[in-house]
Amino acid sequence: MKLLSRAEEVILLAILKLEGEAYGVSIRRRIFDDTGDRWSFASIYTPLDRLVRKGYALKTKGDPTAKRGGKSKFFYEVTNEGKRALLDIQRAHSRVWTGVPRIAVEKGK
């Protein structure tokens, strides 16, 4: 089993959460809402392209809009293969964390 990178995992989960409204800006906003981190567009589009090449995400061109000066948005959806990859990584996370002793952080250290 080849596991997803952390970026690929976060992006696929964002696409699933966006339920048909996943495009570059909305994915970036969802990631910020979920993590508090501001990802650059390059840090989103590079893994997105990889996910499409791997068959984990599907990219479709939307209709051009006047608001975007006649340009189209590209929308993304998670394929069944992508969903299987997410389930694999979820199971791997569970196995890796199983048996880890309670993590306590001491104040001031």
The domain locations on the chain are 6-97
pLDDT(20) > 80? yes
CA 64 to chain centre: 25
Round to whole Å and give the CA distance between 93 and 89.
6
Select from 56, 59, 73 the least CA-distant residue to 4: 56
Task: Write out the two tokens for 31.
Answer: 């990631």
In the predicted model, what is the mean pLDDT of residues 22-35? 96
pTM of the model: 0.86
Residue 105: pLDDT band with limits 50, 70, 90: confident
Render pLDDT for 53-86 as a digit per residue (tens, 0 to 9). Answer: 999 999 999 877 777 677 888 999 999 999 999 9
pLDDT(31) > 90? yes
CA 108 to chain centre: 34
Average pLDDT along the chain: 92
What is the third-level CATH fold of 6-97? Arc Repressor Mutant, subunit A (1.10.10)
Chain length of the chain:
109
Round to whole Å and give the CA distance between 86 and 94.
12
